[in-house]
Structures are given as structure tokens and as C-alpha cells.
Structure 1
Amino acid sequence: MYAERASRLTGAVVWTHTPGPSGAGRVLPDGCMDLLWHEGRLLVAGPDTRAQAGGGPGPWAGIRFFPGTAPALLGVPAHELRDRRVGLSDLWPASEARRLTARVAAAADPARALEEAALSRAADAGPPDPLPGRIVAALAAGRPVAHTADTLGVGARLLHRRSLAAFGYGPKTLARVLRLQRALTLARGGVPLAETAVRAGFADQAHLSRDVRELTGVPPTLLLGGGTR
């Protein structure tokens, strides 16, 4: 069973998941990074460019960071973790990773302990860089990449470089991922696929189907049958 709630950390989501008999399902690209707790280990899930297996059996807990915010909190550029799941001890000094692991292991609610750790890191990091959030807002609204660069007053190369560090991939890939998420929200709300394609920013339903297959590995009709988050 999967459950989530809004975090006290702006834009983040705290979640828990215990896979059922049919397995853990698949995790779809969403532009986010997660800090995970599973079987006594802390892991970082990098930004995905394709669907990933949901992980091993047993309970999971995590905090999913809003796109572009995790690198400043975790201390690693997003592109270094693209399509990867890495132990936190491989990213942080051993003593820091051990302390947080012990704190989460001792907590009655591991998800809340992860949230507290993220809030503490955010307080130490200071005010967030506003540019990644502005990039997400523009691309999530369906703005073309060139228009986004012009609106934000940055050149195409700088936009690409900043996107790699913040999101793990360039703005064109981020735009595709955000468009996929728009389409899934519409389709799961009962909007027919042809209308979903138009409203989400695809050329047509065939374009939607191709993108969904490339990013998730399954056609839209199967994807919406469940087993994803």
C-alpha cells in the first residue's frame, strides 16, 4: 500500500509504501529526487529518465523533494545521480551518514525522521536558488524551452547547464517528463486520451502514446491500469 502527505518542507512529499503480493510496481519519471529508508539503509533516488522498478520487498519510507531542490540539500549535482539509486554513505561523510541512519532507525516513524532531517538541512542551506523553481513553473505550463530561456533572461547554454545540476537532465527532457505528469493527472481524472493529449501539450494522441511508451515502457491504457506512483 502506498500513502503520502504534504511535507512541512515546501513542495516536498512524505510517503510510505509496502509492496503487495504483485510486487512494488514501477516508479515513473517526475523530475524529483527522493531520500529513502529501506531495511536499515538510507538511499538517494536520483532523477529518472525512464520508469524504474519500485524496489525490493518490505516497507519503504521516503521524502520526495520538489524538482530542483534536492541537490542543495543533499550536496550532490542531480546529473551525477541520474537513473541511479545510491547509498547515502556514498555521498556524505561516513560520520554524517551514520548519525542520520541511527536517528532514522531509532524513530517510531521513519518517514517523519526523514522529514525532520530534510528540514534541518534546508535551514542550514539558507534561502533556495529561485531559478530552478522558475524553470519548472515555465516548463510545467507548457512553455517552449527557448521561450523559457528568454523569459528568465538566461542563455540556452546556461539554462542547460543549470538544468543538469538541478534536475539531472536538460530542459527538453525535463519538459517531456513534466508533460507526461500533466497527461497522467488528466487521464487519471477521467479525461479521454485524445483530449488529454491536446490539453497536456502533445501534437495528438499518437504523440502521447509514443512518449508514454518511451518514458514508462508501457502504453497509456496499461499504465493507467495501476501499479505506478
Structure 2
Amino acid sequence: MYEERRSARVPAVVWSLTAGVRQQRVLPDGCTDLIWDGTELVVAGPDTRAHLPAARPGTRYTALRFPPGTGPDVFRVPARELRDRRLPLAALRPAAEIRRLAERAAEAADPAGVLERAAAEALRGADPADPRRAAVVAGLRAGLPVAEVAGRTGLGARGLHRLSLAAFGYGPKTLARILRMNRALDLARAGRPLAETAVLAGYTDQAHLTRDVRTLTGLPPTRLLAPPPSG
């Protein structure tokens, strides 16, 4: 069963999941996650394609999902170094520090609270966030062309690309595709027909939407949105 809530301590979504027999498909969303699997703290970087984790049924996961551009401030590494990767948090921070954090998570009735406090402490010690990151995400999420976003932020094409690699893990065109796909899937889940969804999300047509979703997730939207088999 999957559950989520917005954190009151840090800019993140707190989520939990007990793995079942059916494999979960993790879709690219531009986010970075800090995951506690009961024994280890793992960082999941921003994906360019769907990820199919090898989860043992019954494993309980508790995690924080940081929105695009926030992960580098928490983990103190450029997002491009985390792209399409799952790695132990101890590979990024001092091993003794992470061992103590894992011990607290293991002993806590609410591991999410332990993760939230650790993330809040990391963010307090980080440099002030570059406000252009939020402007880039807002512009791309609104469907603005990359060139217009570059102009509005005063970065220029090369500057926007450098900032995007460091903050989001990939260039602005890839981030725009991922944000557009997630908007389309949200519209479709809310009951919009796919043809209407394609127009509202900024695709040329439904065929364009289908191709892009298949490329990014490995499945066409009809299969991706189908309810899981019962039993």
C-alpha cells in the first residue's frame, strides 16, 4: 500500500510503501528521493526513464521525495552525479554520520520523522538556493519554450543548460518533457480523454503523447493508466 503526505518540516513529500508481489514502475518526475528500506539509507537520483526496482515483497519503505532542484542542497552534490542512479547515502556523506542516522531510523516508531529532521539540518547548512531554479521549473511546467525560459531567467542557452544539469540532473529540454508527461498523466488520471489530455498538456496530438510516454516509461499511456489486475 502506498501513502504520501506533504512534509511540514522540509520542502518534500513523505511517502511510504510496502512492496507487494507486483513490481512497481517508478516514473521519471525530476525529483530526488531519500529512501529508508529498514536496513539502509539510499538516494534515488532523477531518472530519465522509468525504473523497475527489485523489491522483496513485504519490504517497508519510508522516504522523502524532494522536488526538482532541491536534492543538490540536501545531498551536497550536483544532480547530474545522481542521474539514473540508486546509491547508498554513505557514498555521499561521512559513513559514521550515516550509520548513526540509520540507527535512529531503525529504532524510531516513525522513521519519516528521523529523515525529515536530517534533511532540515542539511538544508540549514546549505548555501541559499538559487531562485532561478524555481523560475526554470515554473516556466517549463507552464509549457514555455526553453529559449523563452532562458531569456526570462537571464541565463542564456548555455547558462540554462549548466544550471539545469547541476540542479535537475539533465538539460532543460529533458526536464520539460518529463514535467509535461507528468502533467498529462495527472490529467488522464483525473478522467480527461487522452486526445483532450494531449492538447491541454502541450502535445501536438494524441499520437505524440503516446510516443513520448512510451519512450519515458516503457509503456503506452493506455497500459500505464490501466488498473492493476485483481487477485
* Partner SS, residue 96 of structure 2: helix
Q: Which residue of 2 aligns with 1:50?
A: 49
| More displaced stretch, 98-107 vs 170-179 | 98-107
CA distance in 1 between partners of 2:165 and 2:38 (Å): 31
- Report the TM-score when normalising by structure 2: 0.94
* Structure 1: runs of 5+ lacking an equivalent: none
Runs of at least 4 residues of structure 1 off by over 3 A? none
Q: Which residue of 1 aligns with 2:215?
A: 214
The C-alpha deviation readout for 1:113-167, integer Å capped at 9, x for no partner, is: 1111111211222532211111100000001100000011111111000100110
CA distance in 2 between partners of 1:127 and 1:28 (Å): 29
The C-alpha deviation readout for 1:160-180, integer Å capped at 9, x for no partner, is: 001001100000000000000
* Partner SS, residue 100 of structure 1: helix
CA shift at 1:17, angstroms?
0.3
CA distance in 1 between partners of 2:205 and 2:116 (Å): 40
Q: Which residue of 2 aligns with 1:145?
A: 146
The letter of the residue matching 1:200 is A
Q: Which residue of 1 aligns with 2:78?
A: 77
The letter of the residue matching 1:16 is S
Q: Which residue of 1 aligns with 2:30?
A: 31
* Residues 196-215 of structure 1: pairs in structure 2 closer than 5 A: 196-215=197-216
CA shift at 1:41, angstroms?
0.1
- Report the TM-score when normalising by structure 1: 0.95
CA shift at 1:212, angstroms?
0.3
Residue 125, structure 1, aligned to residue 133, structure 2: no
CA distance in 2 between partners of 1:168 and 1:21 (Å): 31
* Partner SS, residue 198 of structure 2: helix
Q: Which residue of 1 aligns with 2:18?
A: 18
Residue 60, structure 1, aligned to residue 35, structure 2: no
Query: Structure 1 vs Structure 2: percent identity of aligned residues?
Result: 59
CA shift at 1:216, angstroms?
0.2
CA distance in 1 between partners of 2:42 and 2:208 (Å): 35
CA distance in 2 between partners of 1:48 and 1:184 (Å): 17
RMSD across aligned positions (CA): 1.2
Residue 108, structure 1, aligned to residue 116, structure 2: no
* Partner SS, residue 16 of structure 2: strand
Instruction: Tell me how many residue pairs correspond in the alignment.
Output: 226
Query: Residues 152 and 27 from structure 1, CA distance in 2 versus in 1: closer, same or farther, beyond 3 angstroms?
Result: same
| More displaced stretch, 181-190 vs 94-103 | 94-103
CA distance in 1 between partners of 2:134 and 2:10 (Å): 11
| More displaced stretch, 11-20 vs 140-149 | 11-20
CA distance in 2 between partners of 1:76 and 1:226 (Å): 38
The C-alpha deviation readout for 1:70-105, integer Å capped at 9, x for no partner, is: 101111111111111000111111122112112211
* Partner SS, residue 142 of structure 1: coil
The letter of the residue matching 2:159 is L
CA distance in 2 between partners of 1:9 and 1:129 (Å): 20
